[in-house]
Structure 1
Amino acid sequence: MDESAAVAHVLRRTTFGPFPGRVEEFAGRGGGDVIDTVLGAKALEPATPVFDEDEDAAASGPVGRWLKAMADPAAGVHEKLVWFWHGHFTSSHDKVDTWELMWQQHTLLRKHAMGNFRELAQAVTVDGAMLQWLDGAGSVADAPNENHGRELMELFTVGRGIYTQQDVKAAAVALSGWNVDDHGAVSFDPDSGNRRAVELLGRQVISARDVVDVLCDRPETARFIAAKLHLFLVGQAASEQRLGELAAVFTQARLEIRPLVEAILRHPSFLEARYTRPRYPVEWVTAALAVCGITDVAKAFETMTGLGQSPFYPPNVAGWPPGNRWIAPGTSVARAALAVEAPVIAEIADASDPVEAVFRRAAIYDPTPETRTAARDLAFALRREPRQAASALLALAITAPEFTLA
């Protein structure tokens, strides 16, 4: 693989870029060095947002603060993992009462994104936004709501197939007693919570902490999380042998997330598996806006939403599904529209070779013959209209497979 193409591949998978000029900063360095850099990048700390329930896309609001962090060239794997965990431990502002609660959960995910999975699961299980999202707030031991316990097992830890309805009931009993007041404060009420031991997956539990410990101790949890992270970072499902290796790494590290992520990124399959999954809308929009020179947060949020993905608004408790639905042909027009009147059109039009200029800006260092020929034909056909040619080339680049895939 060409060195620049390898660098671009790593940055596509581990950040929300690569942003214009970023690949060139790694000149003379291979994919391994870039992996070192993104793993070692300092975790970003967005400023506290302005909480306005009527302004979803304000630059100073929660969405704006997060999108700015995603678009920061200094962001590394940590920022990408914040996004991953938001799609795993989901909560949506559509149901959660306030932006304050959503931001508290975001801060929690940010704190633990590359930390310990058990600690993350413990914290998010009694997080205010999660308690509201999964109907855990107000659940009482005598008549518990089962939703929280079921999703904690099925979607967050062990996955399907090993627990029974009786386990769901036991988890619900042990998770009861938590409340979220009108100000977003979380508290535990011993009078409505559980006081007796119940059996969950063959072990006795009383409290929410006990439930999470039982689930995190199960070998299925290590496999479930390893499989999901591998799919996200490598773009394809791990083989049974590879999954066993990763689960062992995760277990031996006592569910520390960083060793698992590092094991995935440093395996040869990571560099080999190019263009194996779509760039999901949040990833694609963040990169495409940078290529076009657009910094408007409202435009970013509008475009992401139009493509079916909005931070803080997962469609359901399972999060956003993987798969090729995200690159359906019908999305091409909406994607290409970003190139119309983009601020960088003049720069591309003035370049000695507009095709190479737009490819470089979009970090396309390994265009297919088809993409390169289409770009050259377009440039030739519009050679007497440099600005129009630049806009068309920009649209072609950000809708090309080499840009829409990761």
Structure 2
Amino acid sequence: MEERGTIAHILRRTTFGPFPGDVESRVGQDVEGVVGAVLAAPAVTPGLPRFDEESEDDGAGPLAEWMRAMRHPGAGVHEKMVWFWHAHLTSSHEKVDSWQLMWDQHLLLRRHALGNFRTLLDAVTVDAAMLRYLDGDGSEATAPNENYGRELMELFALGRGNYTQAEVRAAATALAGWSVGENLEVRFDRQAAAVLPGIMFGRLVSGARDVIDAICEHPACARFVAGALHRFFLGTDPSPQRLDELALVFRGANLEIAPLVSAILRDDSFPAARGTRPRYPIEWVVAALAACGIDDAATAYDTLVALGQVPFAPPSVAGWPAGPQWLAPSRALARSALAVRAPALPEIAGAADPVAAAFARAGLYQPSETTVSAARELHARLRDRDPLRRSAVVLALILASPEFALA
């Protein structure tokens, strides 16, 4: 089971799976083969959603369409990077108040997910949803709004301690003049823009492109982004030496994202980094729905709400926190409830070994002895019950297990 466990680990970190059958289809591939395949997988093209401002659980809405892309059988690391950037360069539908603008931003992130970081920042800086979310919409140089300039440096590209209030003010002034029109188009008003250039990090900045260039060429930029991606994929901070190495790769690639992701995933530390971070709720829900055989937007939405993470609705500009709060016992009921009427139960109940079949559907090939013993003991204790009910209880236990909660 070691081989299957390794494959499952790689797929948990680089996709929203593994989905039933994924691991078995890759048996015989070594680590490089699996990593290479998810890196090379073509980007998924989501369907065109229906924009209903009153319904977040619309089966044809933006969230449902995105989740279909997440569980697409051909999805690779590109889809996981779309999620990373949404949580990193985040905006909220609650404030933006337009599904059209949120979806346009989503497509922007999809286009640049593995492209160039400088180009991505250029695009998102004057994106309509971002202009609304961080108050760039209508900002004038005579009294510039500083929200975006500050978050651009603190949360998006440099990190705390690598800029001063003077840089925030200069960025805000240089970014003034952009607005979102009544027809949702982005406009630039030279009358509202800065007349004279400001100074950021010793450079003259006169507009958005100058601001992004000044930030991207700051020595902290490559290290900040490399560290964020290392934490996302491995669940831990890189050592100072490893961070230096990754920053060098990123700078050497002119801030191209794909080579940085490849360097992280192809390092020996990646396949060994098991159980080092919880699955985010969105990762857990997509995988759990697949394990149960459920394809229902309302169920997905309700479970995400119960677990505390709904895409397009971050709690703050910092996105969603990482950490053990996603493992809270209070969420166990929401995790196990999906198994009650799972369409996959007949398949599990009809297997020669229903317990092993349930673990396989969940993509767990090296569960702890404690979890295996609990599942088998529970299945045996319910021997007089209906086979579907026995399988439902076992699947619920597996979905609520520590192993399934970890990426």
TM-score by length of 1: 0.99
1:262-301 to 2 correspondence within 5 Å?
A: 262-301=262-301
- Determine the C-alpha separation between the residues in 1 that align with 2:84 and 2:328: 22
- SS of the equivalent of 1:176 reads coil
- Determine the C-alpha separation between the residues in 1 that align with 2:32 and 2:397: 30
Report the AA paired with residue 351 of structure 1: A
Offset at residue 97 of structure 1 (A) = 2.5
- Determine the C-alpha separation between the residues in 2 that align with 1:138 and 1:243: 39
Asked if 1:259 is matched to 2:259, the reply is yes
Matched with 1:400 is 401
1:169-188 to 2 correspondence within 5 Å?
A: 169-188=169-188
- Determine the C-alpha separation between the residues in 1 that align with 2:301 and 2:192: 41
Which range moves more in the overlay, 208-217 or 342-351? Answer: 342-351
Per-residue CA deviation, residues 259-311 of structure 1 (Å, 9 max, x unaligned), is 00000000011000101100000000000001011000111111011111011
- Determine the C-alpha separation between the residues in 2 that align with 1:59 and 1:114: 28
- SS of the equivalent of 2:64 reads helix
Matched with 2:343 is 343
- SS of the equivalent of 2:313 reads coil
Matched with 1:195 is 195
- SS of the equivalent of 2:37 reads helix
Per-residue CA deviation, residues 294-340 of structure 1 (Å, 9 max, x unaligned), is 00011111101111101111111000010010111111011011111
- Determine the C-alpha separation between the residues in 1 that align with 2:32 and 2:308: 33
1:46-195 to 2 correspondence within 5 Å?
A: 46-195=46-195
Asked if 1:213 is matched to 2:213, the reply is yes
Offset at residue 348 of structure 1 (A) = 1.4
Offset at residue 145 of structure 1 (A) = 0.6
1:40-51 to 2 correspondence within 5 Å?
A: 40-51=40-51
Per-residue CA deviation, residues 234-271 of structure 1 (Å, 9 max, x unaligned), is 11111111111000000000000000000000001100
Matched with 1:391 is 392
- Determine the C-alpha separation between the residues in 1 that align with 2:388 and 2:302: 26
Unaligned runs of 5+ in 2: none
Report the AA paired with residue 320 of structure 2: W
Identity of aligned residues (%): 56
CA RMSD of aligned residues (A): 0.9
Asked if 1:314 is matched to 2:340, the reply is no
Between Structure 1 and Structure 2, how many residues are aligned? 406
Matched with 1:30 is 30
Contact 1:70 1:79 (8 Å CA) reproduced: yes
Per-residue CA deviation, residues 184-215 of structure 1 (Å, 9 max, x unaligned), is 10010000011211111211101011000100
Asked if 1:234 is matched to 2:234, the reply is yes
Which range moves more in the overlay, 122-131 or 340-349? Answer: 340-349
Report the AA paired with residue 167 of structure 2: D
- Determine the C-alpha separation between the residues in 2 that align with 1:377 and 1:55: 43
- Determine the C-alpha separation between the residues in 1 that align with 2:265 and 2:177: 41
Report the AA paired with residue 373 of structure 2: T
- Determine the C-alpha separation between the residues in 1 that align with 2:5 and 2:31: 9
Offset at residue 134 of structure 1 (A) = 0.3
- Determine the C-alpha separation between the residues in 1 that align with 2:340 and 2:47: 32
Offset at residue 44 of structure 1 (A) = 0.7
Report the AA paired with residue 245 of structure 2: E
- SS of the equivalent of 1:10 reads helix
1:348-359 to 2 correspondence within 5 Å?
A: 348-359=348-359
Contact 1:167 1:199 (8 Å CA) reproduced: yes
- SS of the equivalent of 1:333 reads helix
- Determine the C-alpha separation between the residues in 1 that align with 2:334 and 2:203: 52
- SS of the equivalent of 1:95 reads helix
Q: Which runs of 4+ in 1 moved over 6 A?
A: none
Report the AA paired with residue 405 of structure 2: T
Offset at residue 48 of structure 1 (A) = 1.8
Contact 1:294 1:342 (8 Å CA) reproduced: yes
- Determine the C-alpha separation between the residues in 2 that align with 1:98 and 1:357: 44
Report the AA paired with residue 403 of structure 2: E
Report the AA paired with residue 21 of structure 1: G
Report the AA paired with residue 402 of structure 1: E
- Determine the C-alpha separation between the residues in 2 that align with 1:73 and 1:242: 33
Report the AA paired with residue 395 of structure 2: L
Offset at residue 24 of structure 1 (A) = 0.5
- SS of the equivalent of 1:143 reads coil
- Determine the C-alpha separation between the residues in 2 that align with 1:367 and 1:48: 39
- SS of the equivalent of 1:191 reads helix
Report the AA paired with residue 225 of structure 2: I
- Determine the C-alpha separation between the residues in 2 that align with 1:62 and 1:44: 15
TM-score by length of 2: 0.98
- Determine the C-alpha separation between the residues in 2 that align with 1:99 and 1:70: 19
- SS of the equivalent of 2:187 reads strand
Offset at residue 388 of structure 1 (A) = 2.0
Offset at residue 367 of structure 1 (A) = 1.1
Contact 1:3 1:31 (8 Å CA) reproduced: no
- Determine the C-alpha separation between the residues in 1 that align with 2:173 and 2:46: 37
Contact 1:6 1:30 (8 Å CA) reproduced: no
Contact 1:141 1:193 (8 Å CA) reproduced: yes
